[in-house]
C-alpha cells in the first residue's frame, strides 16, 4: 500500500516530469524502492526515495554523519534515517537495492537519484550534489503539481490527486474574485 505522500510524489513525476512510474518495489532483503520513474520522451531514469515528515525534529534532512550501527538504537535510529548518508548508503546503495535496480536496467551512472523531503539543512544541497543526488522539497513539489493538475480540465481518477486538483481549481477560482 502506498502512503499518501508517496502517491503525491509519484503523481508529480507523472504530471510534471511526464514519466511512467512504478512504485513500492520489493528487494530481496528488507529494503524497498519507493519509486522508479522514466521520462519516456527523454529517456531519463529516476530512483526516487520519499521521506516526508512534518514533525519539527524529523522534518529536515541533514548532512550529519551517518552511522549504520546507530540505526538499531531506539533513540538515535530515527535521526540516522534523516541523514543524507542514510539515503546514499542504505536507500540507494544497499546491495539488494542495486541488484533490483539492475533488473530494471538501472545500472550505475544511468539514472538519477532523488530524495523528496519536507525540507533540509542549508548545507545538504551541496553535499547531495557531490553525491549526485537531487533534493526536492515537498512543499515546492506540491506547488508545481498543484499548478500542473489545476490547469487540467480532465477528470483524474486517483482520489488523492483528484482532491488536490479540486483544491487547486477552487483556489484559482477564489483568487479570481
Per domain, the residue ranges of the chain are 4-175
Q: Is the Cα torsion angle 112, 115, 119, 125 positive or negative in sign?
A: negative
| C-alpha span between 105 and 96 (Å, rounded) | 14
For 42-91, what is each residue's pLDDT tens digit?
Answer: 999 999 999 998 887 778 999 999 999 998 899 998 889 999 999 999 99
Rounded to two decimals, the pTM is 0.91
Q: Which residue spans within the chain are E strands per DSSP?
A: 19-26, 32-39, 45-51, 60-61, 112-117, 119-120, 133-137
117 neighbors 133 (Cβ within 8 angstroms): no
| C-alpha span between 91 and 33 (Å, rounded) | 7
pLDDT by 10s per residue, the chain, length 177: 568 899 999 999 999 999 999 999 999 988 999 999 999 999 999 999 999 988 877 789 999 999 999 988 999 988 899 999 999 999 999 999 999 999 999 999 999 999 999 999 989 999 999 999 999 999 999 999 988 887 777 788 888 888 888 888 888 888 888
User: Among 138, 146, 106, 130, which Cα is nearest to 25's?
Assistant: 106
Residue with grid cell 516526508, as numbered in its chain = 52
CATH of domain 4-175: 3.40.1350.10
Q: For residue 107, give Cα distances in angstroms to 112, 123, 141.
A: 10, 28, 26
21 neighbors 88 (Cβ within 8 angstroms): no
| C-alpha span between 74 and 174 (Å, rounded) | 47
Residue 105: left (phi > 0), alpha (psi -120 to 50), or beta?
Answer: left
Amino acid at each position: 500500500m502506498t502512503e499518501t505522500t508517496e502517491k503525491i510524489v509519484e503523481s508529480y513525476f507523472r504530471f510534471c516530469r511526464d514519466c511512467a512510474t512504478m512504485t513500492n518495489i520489493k528487494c530481496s532483503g528488507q529494503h524497498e524502492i519507493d519509486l522508479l520513474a522514466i521520462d519516456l520522451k527523454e529517456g531519463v531514469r529516476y530512483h526516487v526515495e520519499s521521506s516526508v515528515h512534518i514533525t519539527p525534529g524529523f522534518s529536515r534532512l541533514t548532512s550529519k554523519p551517518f552511522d549504520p550501527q546507530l540505526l538499531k538504537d531506539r533513540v538515535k535510529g530515527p535521526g540516522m534515517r534523516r541523514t543524507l548518508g542514510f539515503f546514499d548508503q542504505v536507500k540507494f546503495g544497499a546491495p539488494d537495492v542495486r541488484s533490483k535496480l539492475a533488473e530494471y536496467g538501472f545500472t550505475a551512472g544511468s539514472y538519477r537519484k532523488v530524495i523528496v523531503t519536507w525540507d533540509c539543512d542549508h548545507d545538504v544541497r551541496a553535499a547531495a550534489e557531490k553525491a549526485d543526488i537531487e533534493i526536492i522539497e515537498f512543499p515546492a513539489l506540491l506547488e508545481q503539481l498543484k499548478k500542473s493538475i489545476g490547469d487540467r480540465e480532465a477528470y483524474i481518477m486517483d482520489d488523492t490527486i483528484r482532491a488536490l486538483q479540486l483544491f487547486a481549481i477552487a483556489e484559482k477560482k477564489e483568487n479570481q474574485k
